[in-house]
Amino acid sequence: MLSVRDLGVAFGAVEPLSGVSFSVDKGETIGIVGESGSGKSLTAMSVMGLLPLIGGRITGGTIVFDGQDLTKLPERAYRKLRGGKIGLITQNPMTSLDPLKKIGPQVDDVARLHLGMNANEARARTEEILGTLRIPEPALICDRYPHQMSGGMKQRIVIAMALAADPDVLIADEPTTALDVTVQAQIIRLLDDLVKQRDLALVLITHDMSVVAQTCDKVVVMYAGRAVEYGPVEAIFDRPRHPYTQALIACIPRGLDDTARLTGIEGTVPTVINYPKGCPFHPRCPRAEAICATDPPTFSVEGDSAAACHFAEVAHAQPA
């Protein structure tokens, strides 16, 4: 359905994203995980063709959707895909709706634009979608302004906008980060149901490994603008081969298990201007050796998964 190969993104001379690859099919969820600044949102913006909006450009690679390479798609044709075939859900529902416009018209836009509906048909469609998202009294909600609703409700509205034209692919960029914990679980469950009911391909961007474990089929782990490990979720969680993945998994709080608390990973993600030479993770890596500071690792493939670490073959023998 959607297949990204070797994607690179640059802003002027800096290149915060390079060599990112993943693919996702109908009825499938792929998780993209990584700490803040690892390039997750840039990946989402690239697929949406919205990089020019923030002043970036694609430097290489392909984004193939439905057989056509989106990196070569003219803007006019891209507009038909956006909101039509590919829907986007962003991180902060508090600021993702136009505060001056009522909810109804904001959602109606999608059906009018992509399904050629008139105002009445579009409103009926909007109310129907809101209904399927378990939003009570859709007609009343349509008449409200964004500031009159809770964050969780607004995020449902954003999801409704993304779904209104019956897309094939949904890209959710940290859809729950800004929400209360209880609401987070509801939204994740909602997305999970949608994938199954509508046979959607979902790209779920998150920094929460436990969400990946619960909902995703595949996962791409990103670090400093690069994919460092990818593969089926079971394989990655069973035998993480990249030290960064191992650290992320170790960070998942495990309920009663007192010893494995939220430890966090020592150090911080490097900024674009000082991406380290060699393996980008080496300043923070517990397994780093001399070679790591000089030579960038290549992917070591094992079955459907791959890890970019010089010691990927041996690393999984000593789980973190």
Partner 1 sequence: MILRYTFMRLLMLIPVSFSISVVIFMIVYLLPGDPIDNLLRVGSSAEDRAELVARYGLDRNLIVQYFVWIGNMFRGEFGEAIVLRRPVADLVAQNLPYSLTLGGLAFLFSSTVGMALGTISAVVRHPVLDRFMRGFILLGSTVPGFWLALLLILFFSVNLGWFPVSGAGGWTSLVLPVLTIGFGGVALVARVTRVALLDAQREDFVTLLHAKGLSSGTILLRHLMPHALLPVVTILALRIGWILGGAVTVEFVFGRPGLGSLLIRALGQRDYPVVQACLLMLALAVMLGTLIGDVAQASMDPRIREKKT
Contacts of 240 (CB under 8 A, 6+ apart): 229, 246, 249, 307, 316, 319, 320
Residue 243 in contact with ligand SF4, rule: CB under 6 A: yes
Choose which of 178, 297, 305, 316 interacts with ligand SF4 (CB under 6 A): 297
- Asked if residue 41 binds Mg ion (CB under 5 A), the reply is yes
Q: Does residue 225 touch ligand SF4 according to CB under 6 A? A: no
The residue (of 87 and 152) whose beta carbon lies closer to partner 1 is: 87
**Least Å from the CB of residue 57 to partner 1:** 16
d(CA 171, CA 88): 5
Which residue, 35, 53, 158, is CA-closest to 96? Answer: 158
DSSP symbols for 168-229: SEEEEESTTTTS-HHHHHHHHHHHHHHHHHHT-EEEEEES-HHHHHHH-SEEEEEETTEEEE
Residues 28-57 that bind partner 1 (CB under 8 A): 45, 48, 50, 53
How far apart, in whole angstroms, are the C-alpha atoms of residue 87 and residue 157?
A: 13
Give the residue, chosen from 3, 10, 23, 79, that forms a contact with partner 1 under the rule CB under 8 A. Answer: 79
Instruction: Name the residue nearer to ligand ATP (CB basis): 31 or 39.
Output: 39
175 is an interface residue for ligand ATP by CB under 6 A:
no
Contacts made by residues 270-275, CB under 8 angstroms, sequence distance 24+: 270/224, 271/37, 272/14, 272/15, 272/16, 272/225, 273/14, 275/224, 275/225
Three-class DSSP category at 33:
strand
Q: Choose which of 7, 8, 28, 40 interacts with ligand ATP (CB under 6 A).
A: 40
Taking the least distance from each CB to ligand ATP, the nearer of 40 and 156 is 40
Find the binder of partner 1 among 73, 113, 190, 213 (CB under 8 A). 113
Take residue 242 and report the two structure tokens written for it.
């990249």
The least distance separating partner 1 from the CB of residue 87, rounded to whole angstroms, comes to 7
Closest by CA position to 179, among listed 211, 201, 136: 211
**Of the two residues 176 and 300, which places its CB atom closer to Mg ion in the complex?**
176
Q: Which of residues 154-183 bind partner 1 (CB under 8 A)?
A: 158, 161-162
Q: Which positions touch ligand ATP (CB under 6 A)?
A: 11, 16, 34, 36-42, 54-56, 207, 271-272
Q: Which positions touch ligand SF4 (CB under 6 A)?
A: 242-243, 279, 281-282, 285, 287-288, 292, 297, 309-311
